[in-house]
Amino acid sequence: MPNILSWEDLSDLQSNDIDRINGITNSYSNLRLFGQKESDAKLIFYRDRHAWCPYCQKIWLWLELKQIPYKIKKINMFCYGKKEPWFLEKVRSGKLPAIELDGKIITESDEIIYSLEKKYGFLSTSINATEFQETRRIERDIFRSWCEWLCRRNSMFPSIDNRKINFKKNLQKLENLLEQSETGLIDPFYDSDKIIRPGTGDVIFIPYLERINASLCYYKGFDLRIKFPLINKWFSLLEKEKAYLGTQGDFHTHSHDLPPQMGGCFKELNEKQIYFSKLIDSGKGLGNLELNSEIDSEYYSRFALMRVIKHKEKIININPSDNGEFDIALRSALTYMINNEINIPDNCCGKGLRYLRDRISVPRDMPLISARKFRQSLEKIASFDESNETYEIPFNNRYDQNPNNFN
């Protein structure tokens, strides 16, 4: 297939890797210094290897916004694989996140932030501040009502099923809180350059609102960002933060990684739900409902290419398709992603390309826009395979997402 780029040709077109230690927030680093010395990294942050855990995201964001030098050790979550024995010796429960600070292991995300505040100072408001308690109640009420709606089967009597109504009432409390904000953020502070940044109050809302936004689009057809304009504005402000973008998951990852974490997520079939879920599953994504930010499409495509080339041997070997045929089909998809040229191989390996499409994990493997471009390219070539077969995504665990292959 002379028009399908070789791996050598593709290598010339990839982006350079980022500075993982001092550059933008990323899931690949094992050390973050923010321009300081390695000896300044006194803190060890134990987070999930998959870069998915919402409680880990909360600590991760706090450290990145505060720019505390730290080391990272990555641990499996139970639904992706067995916990590392050495970590269980440190933390018997295996709970994540955890930090090691001044020789002491601390677990539970709120306790971790409180300990970090005592050591390094506040990120705007203290997590235990009295004036912060109503904000914390709103966050907990939203979380509980989301779980009630998402994780219980539909009632046989819709007229008495108030779960959606209750959830919207709790979201309205946050909308009302944001209405009082002059900046559009929940807990803003000014950094050393006098730029307004999100504080602890924003950090505690981010992980679950991100997952709520994704899961309710996919399972319920509920477009949160349209129905709540101030929450949409809050999301949009966060999406200008490189610290946040480095931790942000996409709708595909959240929709399919939530069920084993939550004990099941149940669909509410309606026109929007069917439409949204098809766009998410196909890799097209939901545009501004997912990420409302200016996009350098070429950069993200080349970044995706760089990440694929780095792991190409593992990607090819773990794919269930014939290695040689899949290699050509994968290069065809990458050629399309980079050059917008369609070159159909003799065997499109549609089932194998869709296997990969459904197992790209954001942000573990690449940023949201890179994953969107890559998923779309995989689906484009796969669509020429008339069989239209896929390997089902597991619902009870994600052992197919073994992150050990992608360190």
Residue 228: per-residue pLDDT? 98
Residue 156: per-residue pLDDT? 56
Residues 6+ away with beta carbon under 8 Å from 2: none
Contact, 73 vs 97, CB < 8 A?
A: no
Residue 193: per-residue pLDDT? 86
Residue 152 banded pLDDT, cuts 50, 70, 90:
confident
For range 379-401, the mean pLDDT: 91
Given a cut of 80, whether residue 154 has pLDDT beyond it is no
Residue 401: per-residue pLDDT? 84
**pLDDT averaged over every residue in the chain:** 94
Instruction: Give the global pTM.
Output: 0.94
Given a cut of 90, whether residue 276 has pLDDT beyond it is yes
For range 134-138, the mean pLDDT: 95
With tokens 């090819």, the residue in question is 316
Residue 80: per-residue pLDDT? 87
Residue 248 banded pLDDT, cuts 50, 70, 90:
very high
Residue 2: per-residue pLDDT? 61
Q: Which helix (H) or strand (E) holds 104?
A: strand 104-107
Q: Classify burial at 74, counting beta carbons within 10 Å of its beta carbon; exposed 0-12, middle 13-18, buried 19 or more.
A: buried
Comparing CA positions, the residue from 120, 50, 116 lying closest to residue 81 is: 50
Q: What is the pLDDT of residues 344-380, one digit of tens each?
A: 999 999 999 999 999 999 999 999 999 999 999 999 9
Distance set, CA 181 to CA 131, 147, 184, 231 (Å)? 15, 27, 5, 12
Residue 172: per-residue pLDDT? 98
- In the sheet where 31-32 sits, what is the strand order? 31-32, 70-75, 43-48, 98-101, 104-107
Q: Which residues of 349-374 are buried (b: 16+ CB within 10 A; e: fewer)?
A: bbbbbbbbbbbbbbbbbbbbbbbbbb
Comparing CA positions, the residue from 316, 295, 312 lying closest to residue 372 is: 295
For range 387-402, the mean pLDDT: 88
Residue 405 banded pLDDT, cuts 50, 70, 90:
low
**Which 8-state DSSP code applies to residue 55?**
H
Residue 404: per-residue pLDDT? 67
Given a cut of 60, whether residue 157 has pLDDT beyond it is no
Distance set, CA 93 to CA 49, 101, 243, 261, 397 (Å)? 17, 19, 29, 16, 19
Given a cut of 60, whether residue 305 has pLDDT beyond it is yes
Contact, 138 vs 170, CB < 8 A?
A: yes
Residue 369: per-residue pLDDT? 96
Query: Domains in the chain and their CATH numbers?
Result: 7-13+295-406 (no CATH), 42-120 (3.40.30.10), 130-289 (1.20.1050.10)
Residue 406: per-residue pLDDT? 60
Given a cut of 90, whether residue 165 has pLDDT beyond it is yes
Given a cut of 70, whether residue 400 has pLDDT beyond it is yes
Residue 382: per-residue pLDDT? 97
Contact, 76 vs 47, CB < 8 A?
A: no
Residue 387 banded pLDDT, cuts 50, 70, 90:
confident
For range 330-339, the mean pLDDT: 97
Residue 297: per-residue pLDDT? 86
Residue 86: per-residue pLDDT? 95
Given a cut of 70, whether residue 160 has pLDDT beyond it is no
Residue 407: per-residue pLDDT? 56
Residue 192: per-residue pLDDT? 83
For range 237-250, the mean pLDDT: 96
Residue 8: per-residue pLDDT? 97
Comparing CA positions, the residue from 277, 316, 253, 281 lying closest to residue 388 is: 281
Q: What is the pLDDT of residues 70-102, one digit of tens each?
A: 999 999 998 888 899 999 999 999 999 999 999
Contact, 34 vs 65, CB < 8 A?
A: no
Residue 330 banded pLDDT, cuts 50, 70, 90:
very high
Residue 133: per-residue pLDDT? 93
Q: Which helix (H) or strand (E) holds 72?
A: strand 70-75
Given a cut of 60, whether residue 207 has pLDDT beyond it is yes
Q: What is the pLDDT of residues 18-38, one digit of tens each?
A: 999 999 999 999 999 999 999
Instruction: Give me the half-sphere count of Cα atoms (radius 13 Å) on the Cβ side of residue 380.
Output: 21
C-alpha 52: how far from its chain's center?
6
Give me the helices (H) in 151-199, please. Answer: 163-179
